[in-house]
Amino acid sequence: MSSSAFQHTDTQAREVRQARWDFSGQTVLVTGAAHGQARAHALSFASAGANVAICDICANIGSVSYPMGTVDELEDTAEQCRAAGANVISRVCDVRSERQVEAFVNATVEAFGGIDVAVANAGVGGITEAVDLTEQEWDEMLDTNLKGVFLTFKHVARRMIDGGGGGRLIATGSVNSFTGVPGCTHYVAAKHGVAGLCKSLAIELAPHRIRVNYVCPTAVNTHMIEIVTGPRVPENFGERLVATAGSWNLLEEGAPPLEPFEVSEAMMWLASDSSNYVTGAALAVDAGFLTK
C-alpha cells in the first residue's frame, strides 16, 4: 500500500454530522491534536458546543519516519475549533513527560473550571522487525502510546475526582489491541497495553462515576499511513500483512482507509450520555476486521 494513494483529509470541509451531539458547557481535552484523528475529534467536539483543550508535541521523534505535528498545525486546529464557536486553549505538550502533562491538565482546569471528557489520542507508529528493534524505538513507542495515555488519564482523573462530578476517559486503541501484526511488535504491545490499562482504570474509577473506554480503529487516513514507506520496512511486509490479517475492510473491498471523522463519531458516543452504562469497553470502528 502506497501512502501516496491516499490524500490526508483531516482538514477538508465537510458536513458536520456530529451536530446531533450536544456538549454545550462541557470541557473536552484532546492530546495529539495538531493533525490526524485528534484534530478531527477536537473539531467534532467544538462543533457540538464543547470547550476544547488541545495539545501536541509539535516536534519530530527520532524513531518516527513520518512528520509529526507542528506548532502551526496545532494553532490551525485551534483556529478551526474557534471558527466552530468553541472556547479553546492549546499547548505544546509531550505526553511522555509527567510534568508537561500535569501542567496541561492544570491549565485546562484553570481556563474552564474542570474537565468532563479526555481523549488520549497522541500516538506514533512504526514498522521494524522485532529482532532489529532498537531500544530507542521500543522506548519511544511505549512511552508515547502507552505511558502517554496513562499520564493523561492519571492527571485528568485526579481533577475529575476532586470535582466530584464524574467524567469520561477515552483512549485511542487499535485493532492491534487484539491482534498480532508482523513488523509491529512494539506498536502491538503498546496497544494491547492500552486495552489492559482502560479495563483496570474502569474498575478503579467506577466509584467516582468516571467511565473509561477505548476506540479501536482499523486503517485511518492520517500521516501514520506513511510508515509503510519507512526506511526499515521489510520488502515483503505487505504480503505478510495480508496473509496474516486479511482485508482491513470487509464492508468495501479495496476501499481507502477510513477518514478520521468516522472515528470521531465513536468518540462522541462514548463521551455522551447515550453510553452511560458503558465502561471498560472496546468500541471497534474496524469495518469487520476483528470478526476474522
CA dihedral 12, 18, 165, 151 (to 10 degrees): -30
Kindly indicate the confidence band of residue 179, based on its pLDDT and cuts at 50, 70 and 90. confident
The pTM is what?
0.89
DSSP state, residue 14: -
In this prediction, residues 48-75 reach a mean pLDDT of 95
What are the grid coordinates assigned to 237, written together? Answer: 511486509
Kindly indicate the confidence band of residue 5, based on its pLDDT and cuts at 50, 70 and 90. very low
* pLDDT value at residue 40: 96
44 class by beta-carbon count within 10 Å (0-12 exposed, 13-18 middle, 19+ buried): buried
pLDDT digits (tens, 9 = 90+) for 277-292: 999 999 999 877 777 6
Amino acid letter, residue 75: E
234 class by beta-carbon count within 10 Å (0-12 exposed, 13-18 middle, 19+ buried): middle
Alpha helices in 7-66 (DSSP H): 36-47
Q: Which domains does the chain have, with CATH numbers?
A: 22-291 (3.40.50.720)
Q: Are strands 167-172 and 210-217 parallel, antiparallel or unpaired?
A: parallel
* pLDDT value at residue 11: 40
Better pLDDT: 220 or 242: 220
pLDDT digits (tens, 9 = 90+) for 73-120: 999 999 999 999 999 999 999 999 999 999 999 999 999 999 999 999
* pLDDT value at residue 234: 67
Residue found under cell 478551526: 80
Of 104, 220, 222, 216, which is closest to residue 171 (Cα–Cα)? 216
Q: How far is CA 223 from CA 113, 230, 250, 257, 260, in A?
A: 34, 12, 23, 12, 11
**Active-site option among 66, 187, 214, 277:** 187
pLDDT digits (tens, 9 = 90+) for 133-147: 999 999 999 999 999
* pLDDT value at residue 15: 47
Active site residue 66: no
- Element (H or E) spanning 214, and its range? strand 210-217
